[in-house]
Amino acid sequence: MTGVVAAVSRSPRHTLVKSNEAGIQLVAGLGVAGDAHQGATVKHRSRVARNPADPNLRQVHLIHAELHDALRQAGFDVKPGQMGENITTLGVGLLGLAAGTRLHIGKNAVVEVTGLRNPCAQLDKIQQGLMAATLDRDAEGRLVRKAGIMGVVLVGGEVRPGDPIRVEPPPPPHRPLAVV
């Protein structure tokens, strides 16, 4: 599976909306240079409150542009970076990836997928009902989270819109994504 980077975003402050950039620098073991969530240990406020020494499995947040398209069709006005993502992808089925999948992005960067992003109530500050729109139920009634995936940086490098994304699945058995 291959895809492309549609947009890249970051914010030095703990804000939901991240500014689109011409490029971002991924730093091995830390995340996105200059982003509030960069670090080897947790940076998300709720997780820091629980245990600030926990490893940061949420260094990079990725959302598929196809979600933005679906949300716009449902009446929401969303743009890349607005839902807190660092990398907006196109053509990669992010939600169907296995834990441990490696995403080779651009010339050098490698991000290992750690799990699903759990949508939070902050999404409703963008537009009322947006959080609910990022949740669904499958045929068995299980909750489906559609607000993207999280990963850690294995190999650093610059990432820019238009960069290719190559998907490298982990060796079997594959583990489905769970919330991190």
175 within domain boundaries: no
User: What would the mean pLDDT of 71-93 be, rounded to a whole number?
Assistant: 97
81 within domain boundaries: yes
Token pair 């490098």: residue: 157
The structural domain count of the chain equals 1
55 within domain boundaries: yes
Determine if the peptide bond prior to 161 is cis (ω within 30°).
no
Residue 98 domain boundaries: 2-10+23-168
41 within domain boundaries: yes
Which tokens belong to 59? 């260094």
Mean confidence (pLDDT) of the chain: 96
27 within domain boundaries: yes
CATH at 81: 2.40.33.20
**Would you state the pLDDT for residue 47?**
86
**Would you state the pLDDT for residue 45?**
80
16 within domain boundaries: no
158 within domain boundaries: yes
Q: Cα-flanking dihedrals φ and ψ of residue 162, to 5°? A: 95, -15
Whether pLDDT at 156 is above 90: yes
Whether pLDDT at 49 is above 90: no
**Residues 103 and 110 sit within 8 Å (Cβ to Cβ):** yes
